Structure 1
Amino acid sequence: MSSAPKHGTAAETELSNKSMSAVTVTGSLQKVFSHVRIENLVAGLSGGVVSTLVLHPLDLVKIRFAVSDGLELRPKYSGMFHCMKSVWHQEGLRGLYQGVTPNVWGAGASWGLYFFFYNAIKGYTKEGRQTELSAGEHLVSAAEAGVLTLTITNPIWVTKTQMVLQYSADPTRKQYKGMVDALVKIYRSEGVAGLYRGFVPGLFGTSHGALQFMAYEELKRDYNKYRKVPSDAKLNALEYVTMAALSKLFAVATTYPYQVVRARLQDQHNRYNGVIDVVMRTWRNEGAAGFYKGIIPNLIRVTPACCITFVVYENVSRFLLGTE
């Protein structure tokens, strides 16, 4: 007779524990969402779109050099300016802006979502603390934001890469009329897997954004400490440009080979059996230099792009959030 109440108590305790766990998870999610700011999304998107529209031709050059693996159909370029000149002569301004639509969508969405997730995660991590986040915490917050962003935007980057790699000398390959046409054709011919080509090296690439944001945050904080002002004090445009440029150079020098691997995986003119196959074939055929093809036009493109993006982001976000 006495066992029934005990059994009932155990069941009630288990139910109570589950309820407490659900409440804890819900509470954690509410805390994370309390740091979500749509203004960060808008500001990041604005910066990404502006920088992409200005510098897309350099991105086209970078990708064409990154995949230059000796395949006969590829145009041969002696340098960055020769590449731009050749494209201009063959296809005009439209050729230099081939693939710009998915690039604008991709860059805008990526920067917008990155700042959106990063600031929410950073705010949640810092909640209730008086101390600043460490370099490691900035790194982890940026990496988590990068994974979330890549998962959403990878199909856009695949379409952009394949549109940029449409050569006039190769009319037999798939020719895309635009971003939507490319998305539909890739999905029809390769399924979801086709839209997520390059995702694995892209995951490694989140280290690029993580390193960049960590360096950017640390540079701003140390500089403001040097000026003896609050760590989140506003900088002028030149100071933002300097911090952004230094952090980008650090990240590019550290992580560039993954971009070559990713571009080659996403290229429709060649077929690889995964990341290891790309790495082995590139190393065997081109040596270490193969992993750094396109780095000069990449640096020339991404450094000013990063500066434009961060300056636009910092000023737009402060305006929208009323922290001027």
Structure 2
Amino acid sequence: MADRSSSPNGGQHAAQPSAAADHHHFFVWREFLWGAAAGAFGEGMMHPVDTVKTRIQSQAILGGSQNQKSVLQMVRSVWSADGFRGFYRGIAPGVTGSLATGATYFGFIESTKKWIEVSNPDLGGHWSHFIAGALGDTLGSFVYVPCEVMKQRMQVQGTKLSWRSVVQKDRVTLKSNAPMYGYYNGMFQAGSLIWKEQGFRGLYAGYWSTLARDVPFAGLMVMFYEALKDMMEYSKQMWVSDSNFHLSSSVEGLMLGGLAGGFSAYLTTPLDVIKTRLQVQGSAARYNGWFDAIRSIWRVEGAKGMFRGSVPRITWYIPASALTFMAVEFLRDHFNEELDSNNVQEVSTLSIDKTGSLTEVA
């Protein structure tokens, strides 16, 4: 066994920075992995609610702004026209997009928020969390936006029969007299047809409106989540006298993640309405860009139109965010501890002798 103190240059300590760097690098990649799994889990569980929200927000394009359906009316409409499968139209691109967003969101947050706090101490902790969340979501948007376009178009179509009836009844207002896009049988067909008909611009329809919605949403959700965690910790110190009281990270993530998602979802609903309509319209160019959509929606539908779909949006994001944060905290607690213990055990069995070669420590 090599003597731990035998190296005059602190050979034992020379091995630690490398091991620590490798461990930190591995830790960051674990956050990307846990985030991807959690994002896909939340999307898969709550996709039917998202379908109802998308249809409610796109009614003005497909059926005019008069006599728009409520949440319960839309649920009955989807069920009567398309059955159970109608609620799960577009789930493949939805889960794919959530995999990318969840990975970059949580991975980028955990790998950068401490760096932002240290390099810019004047920002404060909450602003650092806001910036980290916003940047992470922006990075995921390159994959997320095309998936969102495919998902939402498939959601509003329902079955082939119901989509054909929408087009044949001539309820779609077209400025350019262009035909509405065809029916999509699946994710890959949707992507190829959109690319063939509209190219890069079609797949990234509403890209800037998506960023305008998701950047503040992502930043607000992280900021609210971290603020609620601080409030929870302060409340436990002030009001809980039992030192043995412990709330698991998974339960805390479930509760606080749901609240953070709900607050953020409501505040960004107008941005979500604009994004949805720009992505759903396809060749039916009802709105000529982001600002034209704002003016048109406000002029025709007022504040009610800007917040259309807020109830199903909040209904989706509270449980989806709760499940996502719960899943991330669960994966961190159960897998990180096991991986960390294995990593520590491996590092503790290595030392460096005077010649600089690694030897095993008993």
1:148-180 residue CA offsets vs partner (Å, 9 max, x unmatched): 111332111111111112151235641111111
Equivalences for residues 1-324 of structure 1 within 5 A: 34=25, 37-69=28-60, 71-72=62-63, 78-126=69-117, 134-166=125-157, 168=162, 169-170=165-166, 173-205=181-213, 206-228=215-237, 235-268=248-281, 270-271=284-285, 272-322=287-337
* SS of equivalent residue, structure 2 residue 157: coil
* SS of equivalent residue, structure 2 residue 268: helix
The CA distance in 1 between the partners of 2:59 and 2:47, in whole Å, is 19
1:282-320 residue CA offsets vs partner (Å, 9 max, x unmatched): 111101110111111111111111111110111112323
Give the direction of change, closer, same or farther, for the CA distance of 1:190–1:132 in structure 2 (3 Å limit). closer
1:37 deviation in Å?
A: 1.8
1:70 deviation in Å?
A: 6.2
1:97-139 residue CA offsets vs partner (Å, 9 max, x unmatched): 1111111111222112211111111243356999996111111
Contact 1:187 1:195 (8 Å CA) reproduced: yes
The size of the alignment, in residue pairs, is: 291
The CA distance in 2 between the partners of 1:52 and 1:73, in whole Å, is 29
Paired letter, 2:74 = C
Unaligned runs of 5+ in 2: 1-20, 169-180, 239-245, 342-362
Give the direction of change, closer, same or farther, for the CA distance of 1:276–1:236 in structure 2 (3 Å limit). same
The CA distance in 1 between the partners of 2:300 and 2:157, in whole Å, is 24
Give the direction of change, closer, same or farther, for the CA distance of 1:76–1:45 in structure 2 (3 Å limit). farther
Contact 1:35 1:120 (8 Å CA) reproduced: no
1:74 deviation in Å?
A: 9.6
1:51-73 residue CA offsets vs partner (Å, 9 max, x unmatched): 22222111000011112216438
The CA distance in 2 between the partners of 1:121 and 1:127, in whole Å, is 10
* SS of equivalent residue, structure 2 residue 311: helix
Contact 1:245 1:304 (8 Å CA) reproduced: yes
Contact 1:35 1:123 (8 Å CA) reproduced: no
Greater gyration radius: 2
The CA distance in 2 between the partners of 1:98 and 1:54, in whole Å, is 13
The CA distance in 1 between the partners of 2:317 and 2:217, in whole Å, is 12
1:201-234 residue CA offsets vs partner (Å, 9 max, x unmatched): 11212111101101101211332244349xxx97
* SS of equivalent residue, structure 2 residue 63: coil
The CA distance in 2 between the partners of 1:157 and 1:70, in whole Å, is 17
Cα-Cα RMSD: 3.0
Give the direction of change, closer, same or farther, for the CA distance of 1:75–1:84 in structure 2 (3 Å limit). farther
Contact 1:49 1:107 (8 Å CA) reproduced: yes
The CA distance in 1 between the partners of 2:27 and 2:147, in whole Å, is 24
- TM-score, length-normalised on structure 2? 0.73
Paired letter, 1:145 = G
Contact 2:250 2:329 (8 Å CA) reproduced: no
Percentage of pairs with the same residue: 27
Give the direction of change, closer, same or farther, for the CA distance of 1:237–1:75 in structure 2 (3 Å limit). farther
Give the direction of change, closer, same or farther, for the CA distance of 1:51–1:226 in structure 2 (3 Å limit). same
Give the direction of change, closer, same or farther, for the CA distance of 1:115–1:236 in structure 2 (3 Å limit). closer
The CA distance in 1 between the partners of 2:46 and 2:329, in whole Å, is 20
